[in-house]
């Protein structure tokens, strides 16, 4: 699964510790996130979120006791494993003992069936359970083998029984969860270990018996033909003989075995035959499987599922280190006025008012002025302003400045049409201020509805322009919106006009 990559591996004791802490916290419903443990996890900030969770769990007050309990539980796990192995050995030895008949004749067929048949049958069942197609979830739980389940049951039982820690209930839950996620691997390991021990016990006992006692061998049959049986015995013996370096039993030897019992000279051949078959067909596959699962167990440490409830509550605090503040750089910023070159507002001249446009959205020039502004201008016997042009870049600004500077007589005022879509900046402020020194500059702000359509905040943008006007000693004549309905504004048209005319 993709999200695995976020869930890093941790050691089993750490996994159990974190998981048990999570369960305890979930149960109590309290997530203390401002304690020393959490702060330590944030401050030391190990690389992965899983490590941070583990670190926090370790630094918790109750942690050392809990860690002790976990160690005990894992100790219990090892004990259970040991007991299982011992049981396997004893069972194997017992089974081997049962085929060593008192009369000194070993029924080879019976011995193979007892000592090899049972483990092989169990192996087949294990294989079937493991690879039987079913849902992924089911498969996780099944197919671990009977001894493995016994082992797992025993170890959780031990964890529950041995522990005196108040969180033992949670620990048992964590163990069960571990069992659910990874138990199949562990239980399979135990299963194969058990049968390995069983075969070792059997082989060991046989070996001891063959060293110290004399046995003859026989292979009787009631319903099979001796031809078939002969072929079977040779077939079974082929590989062990090849591996152990012994000769394959000859036809005569097999016939003797089947007829009555093996001759005295053949004893060691058949003893080797039995032991080699047990090693090769019984012990070897089990040992290989045990080794495989052992390696898997050692190399694949459990992962914390950090998307589980309980961990999620920790994430906002623990994962904050993904972005680490580097702080403010350099000197504190100076007062805005220090950055501005502000000219005094000029006296109104006698000439016709002029109009300029600054970074306007619409293409057509000149823009329509509102009736209110027009009326105001007519009242002042100014006539409509002369549309000079647009100032959209540096060159145009210079040209316009130069043009206004040479106007004679000086215009009564400069109507600067600005768009509310633009954030007022110092660049505009400075230029308008330089114009303001030539003739009084009055602002007409348009495009309120366009700004609104963009999702912008008209009111605050107007305040920004008002602040600019204030700083650079300009006057806002009106907020005019030719695209939308007339809107009542804080510094509405009437306000602006009165303000404007009052100034003159």
Tokens 């401002």 correspond to 34
Stretch of 58-66, 226-234, 262-270, 302-310 lying at the interface with other proteins (CB under 8 A): 302-310
What is the rounded CA–CA span in Å between residue 113 and residue 107?
10
Tokens 């005094």 correspond to 344
Touching other proteins, residues 308-327 (CB under 8 A): 308-309, 312-313, 315-316, 321-327
Closer to other proteins at the Cβ: 262 or 436? 436
What is the rounded CA–CA span in Å between residue 5 and residue 385?
69
What is the rounded CA–CA span in Å between residue 477 and residue 445?
8
Closer to other proteins at the Cβ: 214 or 338? 338
Out of 134, 374, 454, 504, point to the residue binding other proteins (CB under 8 A): 454
Q: How far apart are the first and last CA of the chain?
A: 75
Closer to other proteins at the Cβ: 65 or 392? 392
* x/- map, 81-120, other proteins, by CB under 8 A: ----------------------------------------
We find the least distance from the C-beta atom of residue 451 to other proteins, in angstroms, to be: 10
* CB contact set of 110 (below 8 Å; sequence gap of 6+): 99
329 counts as binding other proteins under rule CB under 8 A: yes
CA 64 to each of CA 14, 59, 82, 136, 344: distance values in angstroms, whole numbers, following the listed order = 12, 8, 27, 37, 75
Touching other proteins, residues 483-502 (CB under 8 A): 484, 487, 489-490
* x/- map, 411-430, other proteins, by CB under 8 A: ----------xxxxxxx--x
297 counts as binding other proteins under rule CB under 8 A: no
Touching other proteins, residues 256-275 (CB under 8 A): none
Residue pair 435/401 in contact by the 8 Å Cβ criterion: yes
* x/- map, 180-219, other proteins, by CB under 8 A: x---------------------------------------
5 counts as binding other proteins under rule CB under 8 A: yes
The torsion angles phi and psi of 260, rounded to 5 degrees, stand at: -135, -80
The burial of 78, by beta-carbon neighbours within 10 Å (0-12 exposed, 13-18 middle, 19 or more buried), is given as exposed
Out of 452, 473, 482, 486, point to the residue binding other proteins (CB under 8 A): 452
Contacts 24+ apart (CB under 8 A), 378-381: 380/412, 380/501, 380/504
The pairing of strands 216-218 and 105-107 is parallel
Out of 328, 337, 344, 381, point to the residue binding other proteins (CB under 8 A): 328
Three-state DSSP at 389 gives strand
We find the least distance from the C-beta atom of residue 192 to other proteins, in angstroms, to be: 27
What is the rounded CA–CA span in Å between residue 140 and residue 162?
27
Out of 48, 130, 297, 491, point to the residue binding other proteins (CB under 8 A): 48
We find the least distance from the C-beta atom of residue 47 to other proteins, in angstroms, to be: 4
We find the least distance from the C-beta atom of residue 426 to other proteins, in angstroms, to be: 4
């Amino acid at each position: 699964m993709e999200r695995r990559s976020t869930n890093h591996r941790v050691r089993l004791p750490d996994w159990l510790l974190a998981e048990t802490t999570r369960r305890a916290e979930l149960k109590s419903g309290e997530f203390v996130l401002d304690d020393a443990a959490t702060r330590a996890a944030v401050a030391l900030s190990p690389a992965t979120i899983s490590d941070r969770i583990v670190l926090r769990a370790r630094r918790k007050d109750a942690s050392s006791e809990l860690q002790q309990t976990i160690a005990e539980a894992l100790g219990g796990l090892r004990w259970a494993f040991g007991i299982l192995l011992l049981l396997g050995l004893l069972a194997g030895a017992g089974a081997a003992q049962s085929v060593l008949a008192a009369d000194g004749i070993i029924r080879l067929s019976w011995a193979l069936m007892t000592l090899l048949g049972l483990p092989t049958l169990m192996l087949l069942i294990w294989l079937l359970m493991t690879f039987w197609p079913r849902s992924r979830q089911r498969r996780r739980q099944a197919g671990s083998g009977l001894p493995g389940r016994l082992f797992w049951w025993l170890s959780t039982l031990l964890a529950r029984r041995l522990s005196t820690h108040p969180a033992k209930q949670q620990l048992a839950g964590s163990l069960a969860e571990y069992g659910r996620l990874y138990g199949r691997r562990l239980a399979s390991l135990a299963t194969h270990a058990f049968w390995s021990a069983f075969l070792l016990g059997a082989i060991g006992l046989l070996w001891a018996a063959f060293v110290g006692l004399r046995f003859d061998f026989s292979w009787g049959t009631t319903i099979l033909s001796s031809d078939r049986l002969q072929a079977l015995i040779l077939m079974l013996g082929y590989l062990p003989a090849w591996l152990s370096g012994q000769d394959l039993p000859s036809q005569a030897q097999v016939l003797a075995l089947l007829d009555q019992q093996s001759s005295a000279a053949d004893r060691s051949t058949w003893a080797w035959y039995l032991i080699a078959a047990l090693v090769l067909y019984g012990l070897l596959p089990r040992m290989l499987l045990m080794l495989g699962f052992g390696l898997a167990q050692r190399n694949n440490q459990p992962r914390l599922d950090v998307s589980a409830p309980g961990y999620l509550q920790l994430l906002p605090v623990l994962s904050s280190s993904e972005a680490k503040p580097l702080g403010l750089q350099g000197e504190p910023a100076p007062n805005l006025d220090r950055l501005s070159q502000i000219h005094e507002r000029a006296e109104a001249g006698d000439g016709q008012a002029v109009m300029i446009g600054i970074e306007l959205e619409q293409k057509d020039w000149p823009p329509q002025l509102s009736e209110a502004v027009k009326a105001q201008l007519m009242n002042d016997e100014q006539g409509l302003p002369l549309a000079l042009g647009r100032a959209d870049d540096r060159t145009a600004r210079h040209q316009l400045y130069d043009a206004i500077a040479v106007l004679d007589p000086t215009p009564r005022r400069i109507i600067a049409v600005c768009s509310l879509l633009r954030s007022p900046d110092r660049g505009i402020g400075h230029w308008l201020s330089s114009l303001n020194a030539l003739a009084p500059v009055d602002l007409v702000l348009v495009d309120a509805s366009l700004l609104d359509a963009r999702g912008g905040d008209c009111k605050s943008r107007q305040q920004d322009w008002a602040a600019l006007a204030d700083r650079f000693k300009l006057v806002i004549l009106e907020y005019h919106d030719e695209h939308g309905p007339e809107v009542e504004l804080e510094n509405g048209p009437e306000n602006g006009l009165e303000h404007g005319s009052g100034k003159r």
